[in-house]
Amino acid sequence: MTATAVSGSERGTAEVPAIRLRGLTKTFGDTVAVDGVDLDIRRGEFFSMLGPSGSGKTTVLRLIAGFELPTSGTIELEGRDVSGSAPFERDVNTVFQDYALFPHMSLVDNVAYGLRVRGMGKTERRERAAAALERVQLGQFLGRKPSQLSGGQRQRVALARALVVEPKVLLLDEPLGALDLKLRQRMQIELKELQRSLGITFIFVTHDQEEALTMSDRIGVFNNGRLEQIGTAHEIYERPTGSFVANFVGTSNVFGPDAAAAIYGRAGAFSIRPERMRVRWNAGVPGVGGAADGAAEGASQGTTSVPGTVSSLVYVGHATQVHVRLDSGPGVVVLTGDQLPGTEAELLGRRVAVAWADRDAVWLPDAATTTSR
């Protein structure tokens, strides 16, 4: 198995990370769920593990929590090896998607439960539970039952219960997945603000790209049990290191080796985000913006233009997706907020040119390796 070497904007510091994974591997029979992951998560950061179903992100979270033991490799919590430790021996806590609140208990008793298990006296644990609920803006509902709360409020109770025991690391397994869109967006902001105020390390598992981009200090993108890339939201979105990340995080137009050779005359593959492209509606005359013309224009003005045919239009509210089948390249999507120069019937099948600034073309040195995995 091949270990994943993680690169990114690492701080030049000797500080011991909150979590350190080295050569972490987990197999279930013949299935490799986690394949040699190396990762440092800093103290006090909001780190998201992002990936599709089956990518290994949730298994890594369960390994950190102690619900699974690694097949090989090590897990360190603030410098202490906890690879073989039981969950209760690790100073971490987990918030699950279903919240797992006790329906017969009041909110204060739900939150105080972990302290009760630890043997804390009744008065002290209720005081700390009440303070934890106050911290998540539910201090006025101490006596209510979970059934009397909204989904967002129950989510905050689960957070309070996890935080009241003061863990060094809080693990969150897609805790917003059951909420509706508006509530989920509001909770994303509240959760990030809570993390900043507490200064606790949050490790957040999600398959929602927008959620990860919105909330995270850094993101690790998982695929087939490996970490494909790690970096800030800006780094992951603007400079993906492979075609998987380019396609999975947001929408991207990926140009393969043949298209790269035809357009730029060089080997490799590159990607461009739809909002970085523009359509030249009146440029669809023979000979405009072909491979040779595009190369010449790129040399003089730093832009490239390729002819194509409009294949479809999709209105998405704030903008329109213009789908264009390029003559020298793949079908691409251009996101434009401009007024279209005609009706859909008039524009379908129209010859146009698609242009972009060369600086917005992100070359994918590992694209061939990524797609062959």
The percentage of the chain sitting over the pLDDT mark of 90, rounded to a whole number, equals: 57
Residue 201 has pLDDT above 60, yes or no: yes
pLDDT at 14: 56
Please report how many Cα atoms fall inside a 13 Å half-sphere around the Cα of residue 196, on the Cβ side.
Answer: 9
- Selection from 161-165, 219-223, 237-241, 299-303 with the highest mean pLDDT: 219-223
Residue 76 has pLDDT above 90, yes or no: yes
Q: If 0-12 CB within 10 Å is exposed, 13-18 middle and 19+ buried, where does residue 336 land? A: middle
Least confident of 2-16, 31-45, 52-66, 307-321: 2-16
pLDDT at 366: 57
State the Cα–Cα distance between residues 371 and 257, nearest whole angstrom: 12
Q: Are strands 72-77 and 19-28 parallel, antiparallel or unpaired?
A: antiparallel
Reported as a pLDDT band with limits 50, 70 and 90, residue 177 is: confident
Furthest-apart CA atoms within the chain: distance in Å:
83
Backbone region of residue 50 per phi and psi (left: phi > 0; alpha: psi in -120 to 50; beta: other values): beta
User: Residue range 164-190: average pLDDT?
Assistant: 83
State the Cα–Cα distance between residues 267 and 275, nearest whole angstrom: 25
- Please give the backbone phi and psi of residue 307, each rounded to the nearest 5 degrees, phi first: -75, 155
Buried b (16+ CB within 10 A) or exposed e, 13-27: eeeebbbbbbebbbe
Reported as a pLDDT band with limits 50, 70 and 90, residue 134 is: confident
Please give the span between the terminal C-alpha atoms of the chain, in angstroms, as a whole number: 13
pLDDT at 371: 37
pLDDT at 369: 41
Residue 26 has pLDDT above 90, yes or no: yes
Q: Which two tokens stand for residue 31?
A: 């299935």
Sign of CA dihedral 275, 277, 278, 284: negative
- Write the single-letter amino acid at 355: A
Least confident of 121-125, 301-305, 311-315: 301-305
For the chain, give percent helix, strand, coil, nearest 5: 35, 30, 35
* Number of residues in the chain: 373
Q: Which two tokens stand for residue 302?
A: 């730093």
Residue 361 has pLDDT above 90, yes or no: yes
User: Residue range 26-41: average pLDDT?
Assistant: 96
pLDDT at 285: 45
State the Cα–Cα distance between residues 311 and 323, nearest whole angstrom: 6
Mean pLDDT over the full length of the chain? 86
Q: Which two tokens stand for residue 166?
A: 């003061």
3-class state of residue 271 by DSSP = strand
State the Cα–Cα distance between residues 179 and 106, nearest whole angstrom: 22
Which are the contacts of 103, defined by CB distance < 8 A and separation ≥ 6? 145, 146, 147
